[in-house]
Structure 1
């Protein structure tokens, strides 16, 4: 009654899925992978953060009573 509905596997999709399942076993650190991690793991988040902070500081009114301090205030480290 409901025959003829067999699933036909696609060879290329099965190979791609097998590669995804075994990615952590086949991964190798190369110059390119280090560059990608450095770019999207460090550079992009830092640039986004700096852009957000710059936009926030620019949006403050000129008569703001207390100007914002830097996030890492090193004044307490001065001993002299």
Structure 2
């Protein structure tokens, strides 16, 4: 099981690094883009809408900063 915010190793709790979170997010998107046709279409549509929103505001493309994600949501 992959935890996005943290991972438990024995008794120690450690926060995932930015790179680990980026890799997990990319893997999540890739699974969706490789899934059933309707899932692929939904992911592509959502990503296109997000990229249009970013371009309209002259913001950097993916990966998003937490502040940009919060503003988008």
TM-score tier, shorter chain, comes to 0.3 to 0.5
Greater share of residues in strand: 2
> Relative CO higher for 1 or 2, CA cutoff 8 Å, sep ≥ 6?
2
TM-score, normalised to structure 1's length? 0.34
When Rg is computed on C-alpha atoms for both structures, the one with the higher figure is 1
